[in-house]
Chains A and B, each alone.
Chain A
């Protein structure tokens, strides 16, 4: 038992985490004929709370409740994993990435997210505006414009061999590379790193 606890609290390797994520696709199809996708939950929240007569938000969201329940499960799962199965060590990040990030002022590896960025004190600062407000907006706007996110396009879409999803995934990566290699450094300087 002790060995099992020790094993399960370690970070899981990619060849465990990846296939388990892939299995979500057939699981959702078999238990209820549902296509895997997470960003749609954001749309359902809009449809539920502020539809404002916008055609894009007037549909039978009650039929999509499963999606909201699913993401609430993801939240609870995050809580359970962190509370009961947390890895006691600091997160191991590639040496080269550590060097790159040190140059940007990020050196704290005690948690899964860098403490220098993701804390409430940063909320009403340029850092908060960039990482939470603008970052979140780009995620929400872009994913809906693209008709899905990494789960809906990269996993579900490519798994069902749909080339539009491959196109979307390629452009997810293009945007990410541009932000990381060109924009991130100057933007972080601008907000005080």
Chain B
């Protein structure tokens, strides 16, 4: 088998494991656009994209963000328990798979580094996109820099403690 023919598989931990058996294209992808749009609207209407809300959170001066994250987790836990308990299938009739996350040192070191950036930019990756959409075009620079940071991690991943 030549190198070109060699099938490249998605690595196990690419961050957003995709367990749908058949690839989706075109119209099939539209539903993710719609869910993303609703998500973006919630981000702006909940003011979660606001640098000020993140400052309030880290200064422990408002309950707001703790309420958002806490209630999101509660709803998430109940949903996943229901999916498991009732053996709910996807709309395509496939069994729903929630991949297991392995513990690595990166979750500590990388998590800490991300936290430093989170407090500076006032945004985790999701809000970055919503901020650009809401007219803060300069955040494009932050996004490009975040992509560069991701690339540098990928470049040196095997040399970092993990």
Contacts and interface: CB of A to CB of B under 8 A. Distances in A.
Given A25-B79, A73-B40, A35 B99 contact: yes
Interface residues of B, number: 132
A131 interface: yes
Contact of A155 (B30, B31, B62, B69): B69
Contacts of B51: 112-114, 117-118
Interface centre among A69, A100, A133, A155 (most CB of B within 10 A): A69
A175 B125 contact: no
Contact of A184 (B23, B44, B119): B119
Interface string B4-37: 0000111101111111100111001111111111
Contacts of A114: 51-52
Interface in B75-108: 75-77, 79-80, 82-83, 88, 90-92, 94, 96-104, 106-108
A119 B135 CA distance: 11
Interface string A158-171: 11111111011111
Interface centre among B20, B39, B135 (most CB of A within 10 A): B39
Interface in A4-42: 8, 11-12, 14-42
Nearest to B76: A159
Nearest to B77: A159
B145 A133 contact: yes
Contact of B91 (A30, A56, A139): A30
A31 B19 CA distance: 11
A183 B15 CA distance: 30
Given A63-B10, A79-B134, A138 B114 contact: yes
B153 to A, nearest CB: 4
B2 interface: no
Interface in B106-160: 106-126, 128-139, 141-155, 157-158, 160
Given A85-B45, A146-B107, A59 B14 contact: yes
Contacts of A171: 107-109, 111-112, 114-115
A60 B23 CA distance: 11
Please classify the interface of chain A as helix (H, G, I), strand (E, B), loop, or mixed, using the class held by over half of its residues. helix
Contacts of B101: 147-148, 153, 157, 162, 164-165
Nearest to A17: B46
Interface centre among A80, A155, A160 (most CB of B within 10 A): A160
Contact of A136 (B10, B58, B117): B117
A75 interface: yes
B142 to A, nearest CB: 4
A106 B139 CA distance: 18
B52 to A, nearest CB: 5
Contact of B33 (A19, A33, A72, A152): A72
A176 B115 contact: yes
Contacts of A73: 32-40
Nearest to B119: A179
B148 A37 contact: no
| 5 cross-chain pairs, A with B, having the tightest CB-CB distances, nearest first | A175-B115, A73-B36, A77-B40, A145-B110, A159-B76
9 contacts: A14-B65, A16-B46, A28-B32, A63-B18, A93-B53, A135-B120, A147-B104, A164-B104, A180-B55
